[in-house]
Amino acid sequence: MAEAASKSVAKEQPGDRDRLAIDTIRTLAMDAVQKAKSGHPGTPMALAPAAFTLWNKVLRYDPADPQWPNRDRFVLSVGHASMLLYALLHLAGVKTKVGSNEAAVSLDDIQHFRQIDSHTPGHPEYGFTAGVETTTGPLGQGCGNSVGMAMAGRWLAATYNKGGAAIFDYDVYTFCSDGDLMEGVSAEAASLAGHLGLANLCWLYDDNKITIEGDTPLAFSEDVAKRFEAYQWNVVHVDDANDTAALLHAFESFKAETKRPTMIVCKSVIGYGFPTKAGTHKAHSDAPGEDEIRGAKKAYGWPEDKSFYVPEGVLAHFDEGIGRRGAALNAEWKEHFAAYRASHADEAAAIDHILARTLPAGWDKNLPVFPADAKGVASREASGKVLNAIAPHVPWFIGGSADLAPSTKTTLDGCESLGTDTPGGRNMHFGIREHGMGSVCNGMALGGLRAFGSTFLVFSDYMRPPIRLSALMELHNFTVFTHDSIGVGEDGPTHQPIEQLLSLRCIPGLLTFRPGDANEVTETYRFVMELHDNPAVLALSRQAMPTLDRSKYAPASGVAKGAYILADAPEGKTPAVILMGTGTELGLCVGAYEALAAEGTPARVVSMPCLELFERQEQSYRDEVLPPAIKARVTVEQGTVIGWDRYAGASGSIIGMHSFGSSAPLKDLLTKFGFTPEKVLEAARHQIAIHKAH
């Protein structure tokens, strides 16, 4: 392998200054990993020529303004190679983002790679390091995000490029690895990208034939190029990752392609330059050791004693490349945009909102108010009405489903489908690709759009990784999950979610809403739409639930606090029991409350559409809603019982699911699993009795 590496050294083509810059990236990466005693040196070393070529010769990016809206996006899907990105960000001089917590990467940060408070965490984190376009590390996600970014770019271009002004024409570049391409999510996203003909998308595949356990033939033997050709991608080959002329040529091929996304299959040697580890899985991670480091530096013709060495002229070289090009393009764009603002004030105002993740005034003026109705509507039906009341007022509000729109009620009426020839459509068809949908929606949110996906709640498991990342990245997208319980009925246990609600509630920062009637659906959207750094999910019913009489019960605006007192004991009386419910079970609580009231027993109903939001309220509010002194409590939710003891207390009654559901008509399921007015009333009486006895 050492021989192969040195052969490649001889073959290397870049000129002296390019070579110096490339080797600076390599040595910074290996020195940082060595000092941190952990990390991944091999891939940054191998991909340094590709990264340098892209950044310094191709990328339209202004390091002085990492917020420039029309910048080309660079996604390091192979997130463990984070030192490649940090070295680039440092050498290109990417500045701290104005008005955010995203700091520039200093040489000191690189020397404190993976250490507390440095801006160089183990894997790139969006919102923390300036120039990091998305959080990567879970392999495949960056690929999916990049498809969403490219779709957002095309959507923005189709919608806002007017009168010959190219306000948006950015490209999206992604570096991905064997692992990225083994993951299903990248296949889902690539298939969609090929179908949509995303010519503004370019993936560079680091074909090093190495993963952690060894050589890829252990588990991966397909012809990736052929697979991407079948996905209708333009596939280009670079046989030597050190051949910067070939790399440049490949990027030019991407630029010239107008109909298809481009995949550059680039053969590389992991840990290029290491005397013994190059080309082996030993170069993937961990501190390489002094001997390997010295050996590699020797192979590069680098001073062996120097660490974190940035030779004179390297920063200037980046400045003369990406720096100058980016500054000129950004200045030109700003001029264009000023003229555009003068001639297209409304569009420019919309773009301002998109960039700031804000909403136009009056966006909620037509939100529906649903009249009281004992039979009521399914919350998915109400949701469809609310989505369609929002859509006309927020033109960049776009969404779709993984082939379930007729069931999830997410079609935006009168809007075009987003397709190959209609990139500005607002109804997206993700195909049956839930994982891809989640990842793509994250990319679209990163592109500024208010994008939502939808499917059945039980399939949230198929898209949990991107939902988790949307929370970690503090994005402003949401997902509409319908068929949210055993209420699915005859489709049976495969389609009946049990543990999904709890599992979504466990994701830090994510808000999980399960509205209890149609007006709670409206109020949920009123709240969710205003969020700009917080993703949400909605769990909606397939079956109808009563629309509560709000002249009798508290207004649904209580949703904004996560939980609220819907119905209470008469003035001056202490509730003998608190009944808590969500979604379709709220009506059961109200039924029990009314039965108790008719007998003269004072009770309280607390609607709990979003537990996480309730937890964010002041203790005083939480105690007001759920007074600690009242121990007689009943909770009702058609999901796992786990977690509800937090609200029911040690002695409360928890009505929920203890097992999978089963295939039967809804009525029979409700009886079998105990979600009936009688059972709730029985539990309430039991609670009153046992707590009286104490």
Contact positions vs Mg ion (CB under 5 A): 177-178, 208, 210
Which listed residue (347, 434, 520, 612) is catalytic?
434
Residue number closest to ligand TPP, CB atom: 179
Nearest CA to 209 out of 235, 238, 177 is that of 177
Report the partner that residue 80 touches, choosing among Mg ion, ligand TPP, none (CB closer than 5 to 8 A by kind): ligand TPP
Cβ neighbours for 335, distance < 8 A, ≥ 6 positions apart: none
- Enter the DSSP assignment of 57: I
SS3 letters across 485-511: CHHHHHHCHHHCCCCHHHHHHCCCCCE
- Least distance from ligand TPP to the Cβ atom of residue 140, Å: 6
Nearest CA to 80 out of 27, 32, 42, 35 is that of 42
Q: Closer CB to ligand TPP, residue 279 or residue 583?
A: 279
- State how far the Cα of 592 lies from the Cα of 599, in Å rounded to an integer: 11
- Least distance from ligand TPP to the Cβ atom of residue 288, Å: 14
- Least distance from ligand TPP to the Cβ atom of residue 502, Å: 23
Report the partner that residue 399 touches, choosing among ligand TPP, Mg ion, none (CB closer than 5 to 8 A by kind): none
Distances (CA, A) of 561 to 215, 406, 556, 617: 53, 31, 10, 7
- Give backbone dihedrals phi and psi of 120, rounded to 5 degrees, phi first: -130, 65
Report the partner that residue 188 touches, choosing among Mg ion, ligand TPP, none (CB closer than 5 to 8 A by kind): none
**C-alpha count within 13 angstroms, C-beta hemisphere, residue 438:** 26
Report the partner that residue 257 touches, choosing among Mg ion, ligand TPP, none (CB closer than 5 to 8 A by kind): none
- State how far the Cα of 222 lies from the Cα of 209, in Å rounded to an integer: 12
Q: Report yes or no: 462 and 544 within 8 Å, Cβ to Cβ.
A: no
- Least distance from ligand TPP to the Cβ atom of residue 212, Å: 5
CB-neighbour burial class of residue 185 (10 A; exposed 0-12, middle 13-18, buried 19+): buried
- Least distance from ligand TPP to the Cβ atom of residue 215, Å: 10
Q: Closer CB to ligand TPP, residue 43 or residue 534?
A: 43
Q: Report yes or no: 144 and 443 within 8 Å, Cβ to Cβ.
A: yes
**What is the token pair recorded at 232?**
């209708």
- Least distance from ligand TPP to the Cβ atom of residue 87, Å: 15
- Amino acid (1-letter code) at residue 437: M
State the alpha helices, DSSP H only, in 12-124. Answer: 16-36, 42-53, 82-92, 107-111
Longest dimension (CA), the chain: 93
Report the partner that residue 144 touches, choosing among ligand TPP, Mg ion, none (CB closer than 5 to 8 A by kind): none
- Least distance from ligand TPP to the Cβ atom of residue 454, Å: 24
- State how far the Cα of 57 lies from the Cα of 205, in Å rounded to an integer: 19
Q: Report yes or no: 61 and 74 within 8 Å, Cβ to Cβ.
A: yes
Report the partner that residue 8 touches, choosing among ligand TPP, Mg ion, none (CB closer than 5 to 8 A by kind): none
Q: Report yes or no: 691 and 631 within 8 Å, Cβ to Cβ.
A: yes
- Least distance from ligand TPP to the Cβ atom of residue 568, Å: 48
CB-neighbour burial class of residue 598 (10 A; exposed 0-12, middle 13-18, buried 19+): exposed
- Least distance from Mg ion to the Cβ atom of residue 164, Å: 44
Q: What is the CA radius of gyration of the chain?
A: 28
Around Cβ 603, how many Cβ atoms within 10 Å? Answer: 26
Nearest CA to 687 out of 568, 576, 596 is that of 576
Q: Closer CB to ligand TPP, residue 179 or residue 643?
A: 179
Report the partner that residue 110 touches, choosing among ligand TPP, Mg ion, none (CB closer than 5 to 8 A by kind): none
- State how far the Cα of 18 lies from the Cα of 16, in Å rounded to an integer: 5
Concerning whether 434 is annotated as a catalytic residue, the answer is yes
Q: Closer CB to Mg ion, residue 208 or residue 482?
A: 208
Q: Report yes or no: 61 and 158 within 8 Å, Cβ to Cβ.
A: no
Q: Closer CB to Mg ion, residue 269 or residue 569?
A: 269
Strands of the sheet with 564-567, listed across from one edge: 564-567, 604-607, 578-581, 633-640, 653-657
Report the partner that residue 482 touches, choosing among ligand TPP, Mg ion, none (CB closer than 5 to 8 A by kind): none
Q: Closer CB to ligand TPP, residue 270 or residue 556?
A: 270
Around Cβ 591, how many Cβ atoms within 10 Å? Answer: 18
Q: Closer CB to Mg ion, residue 205 or residue 318?
A: 205
Report the partner that residue 256 touches, choosing among Mg ion, ligand TPP, none (CB closer than 5 to 8 A by kind): none
Report the partner that residue 139 touches, choosing among Mg ion, ligand TPP, none (CB closer than 5 to 8 A by kind): ligand TPP
Q: Closer CB to ligand TPP, residue 31 or residue 180?
A: 180
Q: Closer CB to ligand TPP, residue 468 or residue 685?
A: 468
Strand 544-547 and strand 373-378: the pairing is: antiparallel
- Least distance from Mg ion to the Cβ atom of residue 216, Å: 7
Cβ neighbours for 419, distance < 8 A, ≥ 6 positions apart: 196, 425, 429
Q: Closer CB to ligand TPP, residue 453 or residue 466?
A: 466
Report the partner that residue 235 touches, choosing among Mg ion, ligand TPP, none (CB closer than 5 to 8 A by kind): none
**Which residue ranges make up the site for ligand TPP (CB under 6 A)?**
42-43, 78, 80-81, 137-139, 177-180, 183, 208, 210-212, 270, 284
- Least distance from Mg ion to the Cβ atom of residue 178, Å: 4
- State how far the Cα of 489 lies from the Cα of 185, in Å rounded to an integer: 30
Residue number closest to Mg ion, CB atom: 178
Q: Closer CB to ligand TPP, residue 289 or residue 371?
A: 289
Q: Which residues are catalytic?
A: 434
